[in-house]
């Protein structure tokens, strides 16, 4: 049995399997479904519009959408729902297209709404919009090729002979296999002007006539000349869109009236609601969706103390009220997907349009030549009408009439058929003279058409004339307004962050707690872990830098607003996790600053002290960690910030104390300096405590001062140790 199974199994390289089984599917999706062609349509769009044209919906009354969907299924083998969704997107009611192709009646949803669903096909009515006459002009003149539909019962056009570059006029998005297409829309009048400029001069600056995309949802486009030039050249890039808003200061309301094409009202409301819940935006008190039949409107109520312009800048930064449209002008050209810039698309469209016009001209020439040929036969009859009547009357059989006329007047069968079909009352000299009088004008028209067919300049002039007519009939004002980058207020992240006074608390076990002063006033006892205590607390602002000095000589930097806000009952952030400290590394000292002014004084176990300017820790880049922030040749005992000279008390482990002024410690310029000797070692003693004199319990400080440094200090008086019942750390 196993041998029989093995007999039917054939090993095949995976590359061959993919090529034989997957590639046909991939190519079908690319060529027959997802990527638009040079006429601006995917197959599903083209089949739908063509069937509506066949149904007489270009000039006729509206019909039920269900009727259109049913008829389109003769060309489109997909389900009715997929066809109706295509119809919805092409409709005026949905608003997805800058220049809709379907004149609709009923509820077709809205492009800017995610939850506003369209009505069923049996409830809505449609017909072709007037602009569709430009899609089908020349279709009945053999301007394009026709192919059989999927069951060979109908013919459908391969492409539509659009008289304007529709590929650029309306949005078109498609996701194929291994590639995608995302074409933005441009204003119809501007596209026609750009096309005319290109026809007249292929090197013309298209951005003069067509500066930027135009979207059906309006909004504002932040104009970047370099990025726009890249899109026009390569077909790739992105444009930035932002919402249009109005501020009602009287009622403290911001009204959003237009939003970017790439988002929806519901998505914006969800994003803003999430920011409010997370506490990132505290100025908004209420959000309402006031969209109605008059159009989109989202209302944000804000606190009277808030700055609405600054609030909008926050919303632009953190929500899709400002978003990008990624351009990818991937189009099928003769069955091959190609990414082209605007100039390339206009060039391919012009080549296609010239082909359509030439085929129309050739069709007109053929029709006029046929008419001329028939009139030549009538002209022969004019020579002897009586003879023609006699030949017809004397013919024995009906089938003999045409041969006898051919023989009697030396005309061909087509001419004879035409003469034989003329009604008896028209066989008079007046009728024939009137008809044959057109012979000379037909000859001139045919010659003119032949000249036009052979003259590309005349063909281009004809195309330009049609473009001017299209722009005049169907053109509209821009919906998307352009704003140059220089006109846009630029706010960095810090400007969008609320600034407030705060207090930072560092505990002995390495916890950092951040509390706003407003919450600190009403707070009770600050919570810490058991056997833990607060060793340092400093006041600052939310936008200040925080410097963390560790026992391994490193300085860590971050913004106060990067530290999570805490409640008095919270333990705080664990600094080893917050700063990614090394093993056995702990924070000795923290400092907040916004201008890096002042000095830092560091005392070491070996009795040396180092004094440096704080600006040695200032960096141009946002470096998170500075190594060698201070010397580690001897362990650091105390670190202090100096905004002026101050007196300090140093105590050794043998109860010797020394009072000195920071002014006696020379200023060093390098972070890694080892300092200068201040307290001399006595019997191998080491420095164990350094405090500001104002914070220590030393009395009679003059007793502990020495005229010269370094000095060994003096033994602490018994009254300091006993009467005050303090240990060395309390000094």
Pairing of strands 220-223, 481-484: parallel
Q: Which of 439, 454, 469, 438 is nearest to 361 (CA)?
A: 454
Instruction: Give yes or no for residue 724 having a pLDDT over 50.
Output: no
pLDDT value at position 53? 96
pLDDT value at position 306? 85
- Residue 345 near residue 205 (C-beta atoms within 8 A): no
- Residue 550 near residue 585 (C-beta atoms within 8 A): yes
Tokens of 91: 């409709």
Q: How many CB atoms lie within 10 A of CB 78?
A: 15
- Residue 418 near residue 374 (C-beta atoms within 8 A): yes
List Cβ neighbours of 620 (8 Å cut-off, separation of 6 or more): none
Q: Note whether residue 263 is domain-resident.
A: yes
**The domain containing residue 458 runs over which residues?**
349-474
Q: Note whether residue 420 is domain-resident.
A: yes
- Residue 372 near residue 403 (C-beta atoms within 8 A): no
- Identify the band that residue 719 occupies on the pLDDT scale cut at 50, 70 and 90: low
**Do residue 520 and residue 654 come from a single domain?**
yes
**Do residue 303 and residue 359 come from a single domain?**
no
| Mean pLDDT in residue range 676-693 | 91
DSSP string over 323-335: EEEEEE-EEEETT
83: domain CATH number is 3.90.199.10
Q: Is the peptide bond before 98 cis (omega within 30 degrees of 0)?
A: no
Report how far residue 13's alpha carbon sits from residue 654's, in angstroms, rounded to the nearest whole number.
83
Please state the φ and ψ torsions of residue 70, each to the nearest 5 degrees.
-65, -45
- Identify the band that residue 725 occupies on the pLDDT scale cut at 50, 70 and 90: very low
pLDDT in tens, 196-231: 999 999 999 999 999 999 999 999 999 999 999 999
Instruction: Give yes or no for residue 616 having a pLDDT over 70.
Output: yes
Q: What percent of the chain has pLDDT over 90?
A: 63
Say whether 431 is catalytic.
Answer: no
Adjacency order of strands within the sheet including 555-559: 587-593, 545-550, 555-559, 625-626
Catalytic residue among 22, 25, 123, 426: 123
SS3 616: helix
| Mean pLDDT in residue range 60-86 | 93
Q: Note whether residue 14 is domain-resident.
A: no
- Residue 95 near residue 113 (C-beta atoms within 8 A): no
Q: Note whether residue 526 is domain-resident.
A: yes
Report how far residue 81's alpha carbon sits from residue 78's, in angstroms, rounded to the nearest whole number.
8
pLDDT value at position 6? 56
Q: Note whether residue 552 is domain-resident.
A: yes
**Do residue 154 and residue 261 come from a single domain?**
no
pTM (predicted TM-score):
0.73
pLDDT value at position 492? 62
Q: Which helix (H) or strand (E) holds 555?
A: strand 555-559
Report how far residue 516's alpha carbon sits from residue 497's, in angstroms, rounded to the nearest whole number.
14
pLDDT value at position 184? 95
**Do residue 604 and residue 522 come from a single domain?**
yes
**Do residue 585 and residue 683 come from a single domain?**
yes
577: domain CATH number is 2.120.10.90
97, 128, 161: which is the final residue of a domain?
161
**Do residue 432 and residue 521 come from a single domain?**
no
**Do residue 129 and residue 257 come from a single domain?**
no
Tokens of 730: 């309390």
Give the number of residues written for the chain.
Answer: 731
**Do residue 713 and residue 566 come from a single domain?**
yes
**Do residue 682 and residue 591 come from a single domain?**
yes
Tokens of 553: 């000589």
pLDDT value at position 130? 95
- Residue 132 near residue 53 (C-beta atoms within 8 A): yes
Q: Note whether residue 726 is domain-resident.
A: yes
Higher-confidence residue of 683 and 448: namely 448
**Do residue 49 and residue 153 come from a single domain?**
yes
**Do residue 459 and residue 586 come from a single domain?**
no
pLDDT value at position 478? 95
Q: How far apart are the first and last CA of the chain?
A: 94
SS3 578: helix
Report how far residue 214's alpha carbon sits from residue 288's, in angstroms, rounded to the nearest whole number.
28
- Residue 514 near residue 550 (C-beta atoms within 8 A): no
401: domain CATH number is 1.10.268.10
Q: Note whether residue 169 is domain-resident.
A: no
Higher-confidence residue of 447 and 399: namely 447
306: domain CATH number is 3.30.1360.40
Instruction: Give yes or no for residue 631 having a pLDDT over 60.
Output: yes
pLDDT value at position 491? 62
Instruction: Give yes or no for residue 723 having a pLDDT over 60.
Output: no
Report how far residue 197's alpha carbon sits from residue 421's, in angstroms, rounded to the nearest whole number.
51
Q: Which helix (H) or strand (E) holds 28?
A: helix 23-29
Question: How does the average pLDDT of the chain come out, rounded?
Answer: 89
pLDDT in tens, 473-515: 999 999 999 998 877 766 666 666 777 889 999 999 999 999 9
Q: Which of 6-20, 155-169, 281-295 has the lowest mean pLDDT?
A: 6-20
Report how far residue 431's alpha carbon sits from residue 423's, in angstroms, rounded to the nearest whole number.
11
Distances (CA, A) of 46 to 75, 161, 706: 10, 11, 98
**Do residue 581 and residue 710 come from a single domain?**
yes
Q: Note whether residue 618 is domain-resident.
A: yes
Domain tally, the chain: 4
């Amino acid at each position: 049995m196993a041998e029989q199974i093995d007999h039917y199994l054939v090993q095949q390289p995976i590359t061959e399997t993919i090529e034989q089984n997957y590639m046909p599917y991939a190519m079908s999706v690319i060529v027959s479904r997802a990527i638009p062609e040079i006429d601006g349509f995917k197959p599903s769009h083209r089949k739908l519009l063509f069937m509506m044209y066949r149904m007489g919906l270009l000039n006729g009354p509206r019909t039920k959408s269900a009727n259109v969907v049913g008829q389109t299924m003769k060309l489109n083998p997909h389900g009715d729902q997929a066809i109706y969704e295509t119809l919805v997107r092409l409709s005026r009611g949905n608003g997805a297209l800058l220049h809709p192709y379907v004149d609709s009646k009923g509820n077709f949803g809205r492009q800017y709404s995610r939850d506003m669903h369209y009505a069923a096909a049996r409830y809505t009515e449609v017909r072709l919009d007037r602009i569709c006459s430009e899609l089908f002009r020349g279709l009945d003149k053999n301007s394009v090729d026709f192919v059989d539909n999927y069951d060979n019962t109908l013919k459908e056009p391969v492409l539509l002979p659009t008289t304007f570059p529709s590929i650029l006029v309306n949005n078109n998005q498609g996701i194929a296999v291994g590639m995608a297409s995302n074409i933005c829309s441009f204003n119809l009048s501007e596209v026609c002007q750009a096309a005319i400029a290109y026809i007249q001069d292929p090197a013309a600056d298209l951005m003069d006539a067509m500066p930027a995309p135009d979207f059906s949802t309006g909004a504002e486009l932040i104009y970047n000349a370099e990025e726009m030039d890249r899109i026009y050249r390569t077909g790739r890039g992105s444009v930035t869109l932002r919402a249009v808003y109005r501020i009602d200061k009287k009622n403290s309301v911001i009204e959003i009236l237009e939003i970017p094409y790439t988002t929806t009202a519901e998505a914006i409301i969800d994003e803003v609601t999430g920011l409010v819940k997370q506490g990132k935006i505290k100025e908004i008190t209420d959000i309402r969706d006031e969209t109605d039949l008059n159009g989109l409107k989202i209302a944000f109520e804000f606190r009277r103390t808030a700055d609405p312009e600054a609030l909008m800048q926050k919303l632009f930064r953190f929500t899709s009220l400002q978003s990008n449209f990624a351009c990818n002008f991937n189009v099928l050209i003769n069955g091959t997907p190609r990414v082209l810039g605007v100039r390339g698309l206009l060039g391919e469209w012009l080549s296609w349009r010239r082909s359509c016009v030439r085929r129309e001209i050739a069709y007109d020439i053929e029709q006029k030549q046929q008419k001329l040929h028939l009139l030549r036969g009538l002209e022969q009859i004019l020579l002897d009408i009586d003879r023609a009547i006699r030949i017809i009357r004397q013919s024995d059989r009906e089938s003999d009439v045409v041969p006898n006329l051919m023989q009697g007047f030396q005309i061909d069968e087509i001419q004879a058929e035409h003469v034989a079909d003329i009604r008896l009352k028209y066989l008079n000299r007046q009728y024939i003279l009137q008809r044959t009088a057109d012979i000379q004008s037909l000859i001139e028209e045919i010659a003119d058409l032949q000249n036009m067919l052979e003259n590309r300049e005349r063909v281009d002039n004809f195309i330009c004339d049609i473009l001017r007519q299209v722009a005049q009939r169907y053109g509209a004002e821009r919906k998307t307004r352009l704003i140059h980058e220089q006109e846009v207020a630029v706010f960095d992240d810090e400007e969008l962050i609320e600034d407030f006074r705060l207090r930072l608390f560092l505990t002995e076990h390495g916890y950092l707690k951040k509390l706003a002063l407003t919450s600190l006033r009403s707070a009770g006892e600050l919570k810490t872990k058991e056997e833990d205590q607060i060793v340092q607390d400093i006041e600052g602002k939310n936008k200040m830098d925080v410097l963390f000095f560790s026992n391994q000589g490193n300085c860590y930097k971050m913004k106060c607003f990067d530290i999570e806000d805490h409640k008095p009952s919270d333990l705080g952030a664990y600094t080893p996790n917050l700063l990614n400290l090394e093993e056995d590394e702990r924070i000795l000292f923290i400092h907040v600053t916004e201008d890096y002014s002042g000095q830092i004084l560091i005392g070491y176990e070996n009795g040396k002290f180092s004094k440096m300017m704080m600006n040695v820790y200032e960096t141009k880049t946002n470096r998170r960690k500075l190594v060698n922030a201070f010397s580690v040749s001897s362990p650091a005992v105390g670190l202090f910030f100096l905004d002026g000279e101050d007196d300090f008390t140093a105590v050794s482990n043998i109860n010797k104390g020394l009072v000195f002024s920071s002014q006696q410690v020379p200023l060093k310029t390098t972070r890694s300096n080892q300092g200068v000797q201040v307290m001399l070692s006595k019997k191998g003693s080491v420095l164990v405590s350094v405090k500001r004199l104002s914070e220590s319990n030393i009395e009679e400080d003059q007793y502990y001062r020495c005229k010269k440094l370094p000095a060994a200090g003096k033994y602490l008086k018994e009254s300091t140790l006993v009467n005050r019942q303090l240990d060395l750390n309390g000094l």
